[in-house]
């Protein structure tokens, strides 16, 4: 795995590091680990490029789909944050896991919420909370979305 070090206020230029990957198909673990390192060094555009590369190579991995969608939903950089782009990734991850993973359902709920689809967001948030009862953040988010929907009525 490539190790990054932050250089100055602008962070990293991950695209230059992509050339360091071996000629054979990089492992999903390596790509995701490197993307997370880039995030940690505040290079969200570089992390996004790594997620995009990983999605091209591993388009049916629900963990990757979920991680990329969550990243696009929570990025600090407004140029990277994109709920509309995250939504199909989150939907596919839910489909692949047959609605059985609370964390993945939570990502879909957030993508729907952030895309303005509040009623459907509440549906998936409640499913997520039911499956991840011990996760306070997921349960709290489900309650907040339901309250927001009720207030809009």
Distance, CA of 73 to CA of 121 (rounded, Å):
14
Q: Kindly state whether residue 66 falls inside one of the protein's structural domains.
A: no
- Predicted model pTM: 0.84
Same domain for 111 and 49 = no
Residues 48 and 103 in one domain: no
For residue 137, the domain's CATH number is 1.25.40.10
86 and 21 in a common domain: no
Residue 77 within a domain: no
pLDDT digit string (tens) for 41-100? Answer: 999 999 999 999 999 999 999 999 999 999 999 999 999 999 999 999 999 999 999 999
Give the Å distances, CA to CA, from 82 to 14, 24, 56, 73, 78. 20, 30, 18, 6, 8
Query: What does each C-alpha distance from 81 to 24, 38, 39, 69, 110 come to in angstroms?
Result: 30, 15, 13, 10, 13
pLDDT per position as a tens digit, 20-43: 555 678 999 999 999 999 999 999
> Is there a single domain that holds both residue 86 and residue 152?
yes
- What per-residue confidence (pLDDT) applies to 8? 42
Q: Are residues 152 and 103 in the same domain?
A: yes
Residue where a domain stops, chosen among 43, 58, 73: 58
What domain range is 127 assigned to?
Answer: 82-153
Q: How many domains in the chain?
A: 2
Is the residue at 96 inside a domain? yes
């Amino acid at each position: 795995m490539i190790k990054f070090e932050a250089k100055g206020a602008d962070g990293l230029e991950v695209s230059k590091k992509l050339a360091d990957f071996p000629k054979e198909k990089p492992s999903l673990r390596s790509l995701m680990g490197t993307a997370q390192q880039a995030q940690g060094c505040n290079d969200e555009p570089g992390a996004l490029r790594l997620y995009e590369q990983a999605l091209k190579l591993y388009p049916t991995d629900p963990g990757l789909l979920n991680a990329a969608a969550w990243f696009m939903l929570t990025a600090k950089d407004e140029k990277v944050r994109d709920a509309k782009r995250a939504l199909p990734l989150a939907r596919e991850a839910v489909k692949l896991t047959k609605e059985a993973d609370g964390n993945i359902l939570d990502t879909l709920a957030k993508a729907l919420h952030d895309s303005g689809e509040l009623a459907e967001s509440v549906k998936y948030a409640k499913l997520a909370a039911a499956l991840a009862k011990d996760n306070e953040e997921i349960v709290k988010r489900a309650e907040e979305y339901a309250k927001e929907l009720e207030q809009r009525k």
